[in-house]
Structure 1
């Protein structure tokens, strides 16, 4: 048996909020029947994901896994199955090898339960905290069509409230949406990621899972380091912006100007098909809970068809390449979301 990967910690001064050389990474995975090929991909590529992140970023990394299916009578196996953080790559690999895709019942799944279990993990105070949700179906209570629990999660869990709590705990959510099944619900999942300052990443090829996660995590670590280095400048500029009463869009632009004036570059994952929609940013992300979200979703013109398969889905040749480039406006918008979250 191969030994667990051991990497020495990098000596860094203690940071007020967290140290980007310390990484807590959790995968929240839909384990119903339709996800079979993606679970297999995660199983085969997890070692590459972890080894590349640890070696390239010199991170002290802890890994966790949350599997979710659905509530009875839609599924009688389990609602969630949680594996708390471990520093052992082989332990994580073993959990993934025990995953299987089956069941699920109706269309929506126990997304809320999976997200809720993430809040209960043993997160380290000073870590960069990242959740990667891999899903091909919406939560209960969003779209009543084909929903066995049209009033929402039978356990009373609300995905929007949960991700706001994630944001307060400085946990960044990345949503890997399996397309085409997730296409009608892209704006909803985008809004969950946006609330935490994360990204939505569309995926049509299971073989790209490792590259998507590696790219997203390395970009997130890069942005966290930039925010730590520029914290004083950001605080001053945001205080000035608030005194002037400017809107959030202008505040994000001012953060971008801070980095542009110093010619600072950051890692960026090529993710043009995952760019946040106006509906996600300006409408859905403002909802207080799923009740309000459901009303907006049902009343938004052609909500369930807001993306056609032809226009929304990335080409199968999408690469999600990682680049070093000037901090862009989308990254600055996400950093503004993080700055807001960290004020709380």
Structure 2
């Protein structure tokens, strides 16, 4: 290794010259004490020599324990939340596999996406800063560090680590920092590292140490961007004796999180802040005097070569996951039962947008959702999409991008205000309609377009068609007139959608474009026949996605949009951005939809259900309603076949009327129910011949009914 020239900051030489009288007196007393010791005990006995050797060996092993924590026990090297909700983590210290590693977020198991052991070539470089307490009581400990650091560095480099070292010394204040001729605090030379440690050892820094301030300063060093960043604090005092530490604590925690630093602390006096710092950073804190130092030293050379990378999702999302909150992550290796913890901060913001476009409960308890999810050129992770119903997380969901569906049908109705103030929007519609439809078709959607126009009255209605040129010509023929009284008949125009011919399986989307609040029933005019609540119920009942480009301050529209799947765009924003661009963005949202299918966790309770869909900290919610139950009848309970050989299976099927809002519980006299879904079950019969009974209990909110069926088990002759 090459030797680098270093320069100690002269600031601390000045502080040494100008130290106060109390500090000088402390130095004189220390020197006098050392002099008396040497005069009184000029020679050490054999026992004393052995005692001193054991003390130095113990301290040396204590120092090595830190490196064991870095490379021989399970250790979190780094956590990256830049691709949130996907989190990337680097661990080291133990051999592990995808089946042996578990990650917990505040005690709940996270969803692992990927795991791999790193090769030596993939290993990150490592920047290590020794933050050394050089008060009068720390001399032997620093000497131990100096003695062993060369062999540790050689072993680490042999195992593929690209190392750099820095040293910071402190007592009452920071008294030693080093910088090389290139302006860096770091050196690659072990000889230079030892030289720096010697210089720190030669200086007595005073009591009431500034540990937190020293860590804060070291956290600002020039670490390599892609390196593992490690601070090693060695001190024998707690951090509460120096008030300076208090003002640097919160800033240190912020730097640890922002720079993804690992902090390892070897200390003698108890201090809860040391453990908090180590916990948040994914490091460890060790107290002097542990009995397992020698064992840890042995593990150092066996285990430290292992590093692994993994990615995972937190087990929660919007609405339970809040921006900016702290989460404790705990990593556990099932092979070794060892654990490591760290704390992450959930990102404050996200560029991702998520909107629920449709909810269909016609096949209840099976629920179908369509959502628009746009990550704006960032990778979209489908595993990060989560669904909650009535505050319960749904663990089993099916997700498919609509673009993967061949010719997925979508019927889109433009409901357009054609009053005088909307002339520019009408022209933009004419100029951009074909582009709008091309975006839909290029994504594999089978689109049709319809048009309704309005002012103070419903003006025209054109049925859904795939002849987009025809719709464009209709738009070209529109005249922007009237509308002087500001409110327009937009609610009646929306209700006019009911007269259009939608395809049975098509997604229905209404895009309403207006710059005026709506007339409504009871507003002291005769322009509208409908209330806001009536139109809202119409949209929900018919599963119509409602995209509104309109005025934000109109309270009627705010109430209309409540819980209705869709999106809102402020009309003034659309005008500033260029209306054609807004149309294209709507088309892209429609094409970036995902269909989600799940089974309701409560198949029988009537009433309103609130559904949340989340992706990290963003999400949307809507509602659907289940009508109160009526009485039901069990029409039949059938076993097919009803005579089987020993150990064979039969299918059980129960038919009821009506067949929704019911729960089925299957019980058998012998054998096992090996599979069941709602009103069907698979029954494996026992090996012993005889007749056996299966019972189904059918429940609704108010009623419980039972039925039985008998199946015969015998060998072949019994079938004739």
TM-score bracket, normalised by the shorter chain, equals: 0.5 to 0.7
Q: Could you tell me which residue of structure 2 aligns to residue 53 of structure 1?
A: 440
Q: Deviations over 1:97-154 (max 9, x none)?
A: 1112111231111112211111221111211110000011111249xxxxxx832554
CA contact (8 A) 1:29 1:134 kept: yes
CA pair 117-327 structure 1, distance change in 2 beyond 3 A: farther
CA contact (8 A) 1:69 1:110 kept: yes
Q: Could you tell me which residue of structure 2 aligns to residue 210 of structure 1?
A: 580
Q: Distance in 2 between matches of 1:166 and 1:218?
A: 22
Q: Could you tell me which residue of structure 1 aligns to residue 562 of structure 2?
A: 194
Secondary structure in 2 matching 1:36? helix
CA pair 60-183 structure 1, distance change in 2 beyond 3 A: closer
CA contact (8 A) 1:18 1:126 kept: no
Q: Could you tell me which residue of structure 2 aligns to residue 172 of structure 1?
A: 545
Offset of residue 44 of structure 1: 0.8
1:107 alignment partner, one of 453, 464, 486: 486
Secondary structure in 2 matching 1:139? coil
Secondary structure in 1 matching 2:507? strand
Is residue 226 of structure 1 aligned with residue 612 of structure 2? no
- Give the number of the structure whose residues are more often strand, by fraction: 2
Offset of residue 236 of structure 1: 3.3
Q: Any gaps of 5 or more consecutive residues in structure 1?
A: 1-14, 72-78, 143-148, 257-325
- Give the number of the structure whose residues are more often helix, by fraction: 1
1:184 alignment partner, one of 553, 558, 572: 553
Q: Distance in 2 between matches of 1:247 and 1:92?
A: 39
Q: Could you tell me which residue of structure 1 aligns to residue 449 of structure 2?
A: 63
2:507 alignment partner, one of 111, 128, 151: 128
Q: Distance in 1 between matches of 2:546 and 2:583?
A: 12
Q: Distance in 2 between matches of 1:123 and 1:93?
A: 20
Q: Distance in 1 between matches of 2:587 and 2:446?
A: 13
Q: Distance in 2 between matches of 1:152 and 1:112?
A: 14
TM norm structure 1: 0.57
Q: Could you tell me which residue of structure 2 aligns to residue 38 of structure 1?
A: 425
Secondary structure in 1 matching 2:584? helix
Secondary structure in 2 matching 1:165? helix
TM norm structure 2: 0.29
CA pair 39-246 structure 1, distance change in 2 beyond 3 A: closer
Question: What value does the CA root-mean-square deviation take over the aligned residues?
Answer: 3.1
CA pair 183-246 structure 1, distance change in 2 beyond 3 A: closer
2:536 alignment partner, one of 135, 139, 163: 163
Q: How many equivalent residue pairs?
A: 223
Offset of residue 87 of structure 1: 0.8
Is residue 80 of structure 1 aligned with residue 450 of structure 2? no
Q: Any gaps of 5 or more consecutive residues in structure 2?
A: 1-361, 371-401, 403-407, 628-720
Offset of residue 158 of structure 1: 2.4
Q: Deviations over 1:63-96 (max 9, x none)?
A: 001000114xxxxxxx321011011110111111
Q: Distance in 1 between matches of 2:608 and 2:488?
A: 40
2:600 alignment partner, one of 228, 236, 239: 236
CA pair 221-92 structure 1, distance change in 2 beyond 3 A: same
Q: Distance in 2 between matches of 1:151 and 1:35?
A: 25
CA pair 141-167 structure 1, distance change in 2 beyond 3 A: closer
Q: Could you tell me which residue of structure 2 aligns to residue 26 of structure 1?
A: 413
Secondary structure in 2 matching 1:85? strand
Secondary structure in 2 matching 1:35? helix
Q: Deviations over 1:131-181 (max 9, x none)?
A: 000011111249xxxxxx83255452224312311211111111001xxxx
CA contact (8 A) 2:489 2:528 kept: no
Is residue 151 of structure 1 aligned with residue 521 of structure 2? no
